[in-house]
Structure 1
């Protein structure tokens, strides 16, 4: 849906924004009287939703940035993205500054309406409940992100002035309980679904899912199992997994056959029609500044992009074979054709050599001086292979397919923009939250298998064998989170809360920028979290490497921005910065 916020945001842009009003316009609200009506309250609500969408890096919404500073994704080398993976991030890094600033600005916009709800004339009980519940949900989400990124942060529950702006940091555990209590209170006030608005507004399922996520992240596993079950029960008949479209038949095959296309889930069509999405960040070409340039930064050189982000070899090697075994255990693995018979999500979510992407044959190896252009009518034509020769081609040798909709191809150029929505919550994550909570509570019943197997069967992967131990199910769950939620922006949090960041982010990331051949002998095994273990001497002969460093008791969190430290003397910096 591309028109839900259009009228409201245009009104905000032309008259007020609730948090940025310094003058008193003759035809709109002022900061002294705002909000004076239900309509103005909705303007403030929509401004808060809108504000969440402004957190980006390299013109890419933050949700599609975060996995590219982990073991499964890689960004073009540079200060903003190399420093987080080498334990050298600073207090002035733009990547770490923006989430702090924008989340607190979002919280302030929530308070601009929440603080005055009782003063709005003519507000009905239903209207008050609507504004109250959605604004408190947005505030809870903002705090959930702040504590994951920065740890202890100031917990502000109402508007502040210059006189009381300095607030000390609140312990993470206290904020987690505040979030959990808030979501428990507002969930019953919210409608089960907001699909009529394209899922861009908070629903009861979204509130319960966020509550369950915070409980899971804080290791309150029994509570997370109960909450996520409530959400799943309420979601029955409303939300469902969307089957892959017919292009799944192209996976594991070369470019001559066709192009895998997950847009019925992750593209324009998916956001308008898929029942998998629970909460979505909306973008709109018709509203000034309500855009991003994600496709340009994600796409191949021939696809009019700059290859800014891409999966690592570590992720590519993690994908199982279609028999459910790893590449070192399965008899189906073929060293000469390493992408054949793999988990279909490899090709549906990522772009690898010999496949078709945005209408072109994708080949990072320089031996492919010419590649096929499938956009021309009739037989494909040959074009120069910029994806192998450009100095700024993919730095990992792979690209993300999830984040790009081929429908945008003709409108995307060096200066082009996209209003492709970005998913924040989807049903598959909720199912995995429930499964993980049950596993960690050691409640290994059939419902755990059912949640994981539904996701695997959608991907045309075999169901898990029965009778697995807790450790075996934990490994299976972590595999599913890694591959199903790849580039959804959750891996950064997962590897820290699981306590494995010190392992997967110390040593090397493997990159195949030149599209070299390799054999499975570069891997010696997989660890208990389904991560490949490399024979470095052999792997480095096939792949380029990025050395990564993770410093315990420091890199669990980002630094508080220096500007905030300077402005608020009550703030204390995180350890190690």
Structure 2
């Protein structure tokens, strides 16, 4: 049985439980059940399921999930060179626009809401752990396994906090009242110490968790190993605490990353799907490439059609699309250009010096012309991006034309990933727009392969294996079914060309560039790009290059600038400073609290 159905049976009332922002540390879930039940072994399953439900956002089916998405589309992509905010213009959810243009301070409500949601999620784990810790094995079946599951989920929420806000307060289930909370500084631990604690918690959980669980969706040993690898990968890039500049790379931690990734690679349980586009098919949602996913469902008896991915609710294509959505989260022209390839089918690292690929001309009658489409491109371009005149999945009525609400501001391309084709019986018709039961992949097997490759490149001792891993990911894209021309299905929709890296000139510097590019092309729009740039210590250079080029195309970028030593992390929200009783300190680069 999928765990998502267990949520529906036993924890539905908890999905809508509030979290008093001034006292979330002492917050038993509010429902019709008594507090006595919810703090005893009798209610522990409800508490555990509520913690799992928080993966999709502790607010359940509410605007808190749309505005503070667990998918990180606004935090990890719109703040990067991959995406524009989209929607109805710069004033539509203006707080995200301010994040996109690096005009952020401690009063931005989107920051406060995200902080609040994540700590509510942490507290759901702690509420379950307090009961589990105070129970016996005889009272609760698989008690130690459930403890390990909750620690993995808690570490996940804390990891999100760390890479968003840098200076964060850390507490476990033993902190259970508001008076103690106000003694916990957000400066008690450094970034490195926080990441070290979270990685160790993942490893401790892995020692207890089984290799598989009978209910799909429950955390297992390999999820804990994979997540420990991800956290150690971040930790390996040592940052200066004041400037956020990467000052060294810890090769010992990188060796740990390799060893942890090998646990999944050698397990025989995971592999790449044969076709990249299979990532967006319901049939594959818990398939061999899925390592850790948020489980969603549809037509399950809950309101508004089911427990669907409300984090993506604003993002379904708008304009005249068959989805009829709000049209947020649009791919940038820079991302489109980055899919261009050279004569060998390898990434064209000079793409920013060239004309825009697939430049769109609006003919004024709901038709569009594309120019500069003869260069070769990686086929993943049209798996990820919806371009005018280009076939959209298996939809036969029209190509992707005019599906952006504010074309004058954001251009004409929309995001093709994460949606089922609109004629599919898996898609809900009407509200919620474009909804389906498609899971959200927190970690997929391609990530694991690329993490290992990255670690090997930074260690510098086995560049050959790193190249083979990168090529394995590229080969899957090469062998996928290419998008066909809308009017002539015997032709490809573009001049697709993707090659594999050769051993010649495969130096550490070149391998590093190849890996970072591959990470972008393979995981575009998955919420990771900005965090990758910060981890590598190149956010300043990449983002300012991007903004310089974009200013001539997007007028709203006219005064935008990425400030090194500040914009790598979000400001600690003013509200949280007040709730802490004034003990929090602000991140470098932002105005100090008063």
Q: Is the TM-score greater than 0.5?
A: yes
Does 2:206 correspond to 1:206?
Answer: no
Local SS of the residue matching 2:515 = helix
Distance 1:557 1:408 in 2: 41
Task: Count matched residues.
Answer: 504
Greater displacement, 303-312 / 465-474:
303-312
Contact 1:298 1:403 in 2 (8 A): no
Matched, 1:186 2:199: no
Q: Which digits, 9 at most, give the CA deviation of each residue in 1:64-109, with x for residues without a partner?
A: 3321221111112242222123331132323322321122112111
Structure 1 residue 498: Cα displacement: 1.6
CA contact (8 A) 2:337 2:357 kept: no
Shift of 1:312: 0.8
| Partners of 2:55 and 2:70 within 8 A in 1 | no
1:75 counterpart SS class: strand
Q: What does the per-residue CA deviation read over 1:398-425, in whole Å, with 9 as the maximum and x for residues that have no partner?
A: 1111121113686243554443321100
Deviation at 1:481, TM superposition (A): 0.6
Q: Specify the alignment match of 2:253 in structure 1.
A: 223
Aligned match of 1:519 = none
Take 2:448 and 2:546, find their aligned partners in 1: how far apart are those partners? 31
Q: Show CA shifts across 1:104-161 (max 9, x none).
A: 1121111112123243255378612211110010111111111111112111022321
CA distance in 1, matches of 2:4, 2:35: 22
Q: CA 1:334 to 1:112, structure 2 compared with 1: closer, same or farther past 3 Å?
A: closer
Partner Cα distance (2:357, 2:257) in 1: 44
Cα 1:386–1:344 change in 2 (3 A) is closer
Correspondence for 2:4: 5
- Checking the alignment, whether the CA contact within 8 Å between 2:409 and 2:554 is kept in structure 1 is no
| 2:442 aligns with one of 424, 439, 446 | 424
Ranges in structure 2 where 5+ consecutive residues have no aligned partner:
19-25, 59-64, 237-249, 359-370, 479-497
**Are 1:505 and 2:517 counterparts?**
no
Specify whether residues 472 and 23 from structure 1 end up closer, same or farther in structure 2 by C-alpha distance, changes over 3 A only: closer
The match for 2:468 is 450
Change (3 A) 1:92 1:9: farther
> Would you say the 8 A contact 1:312–1:509 is kept in 2?
no
- Rate the CA distance shift 1:357–1:132 in 2: closer, same or farther, 3 A: same
The corresponding residue for 1:493 is 531
Is 2:463 the partner of 1:463?
Answer: no
Which among 544, 547, 572 is matched to residue 560 of structure 1? Answer: 572
What is the DSSP-based 3-state SS (H/G/I as helix, E as strand, rest coil) of the residue aligned with 1:466?
coil
Question: Given that residues 80 and 93 in structure 1 are in contact (C-alpha distance below 8 angstroms), is that contact kept between their aligned partners in structure 2?
Answer: yes
Higher deviation after alignment, 113-122 or 135-144: 113-122
Q: Secondary structure of the residue that 2:297 maps to in structure 1?
A: coil
Displacement after TM superposition at 1:162 (Å): 2.2
Report 1:251-290 matches (<5 A).
Answer: 262=277, 264-272=278-286, 274-285=287-298, 286=300, 287-288=302-303, 290=307
Find the aligned partners of 2:409 and 2:274 in 1 and give their Cα distance: 30
RMSD, aligned CA? 3.3
* Alignment partners' CA distance in 2, 1:165 and 1:497: 30
Check 1:267–1:228 CA distance in 2 against 1; reply closer, same or farther (3 A cut). Answer: farther
Counterpart in 2 of 1:34?
A: 38
CA distance in 1, matches of 2:228, 2:220: 12
Residue aligning to 1:366 = none
Further displaced range: 410-419 or 136-145: 410-419
Q: Specify which of 455, 464, 471 is matched with residue 437 of structure 1.
A: 455
Which whole-Å CA distance do the structure 1 matches of 2:128 and 2:161 have between them? 21
Cα distance, 1:193–1:92 mapped onto 2, change above 3 Å: farther
Paired with 1:62 and 1:314, the residues of 2 have a C-alpha distance of 21
Question: CA–CA distance in 1 between the matches of 2:225 and 2:584?
Answer: 32
SS for the counterpart of 1:425 is: strand
Structure 2 match to 1:83: 98
1:163 match: 179
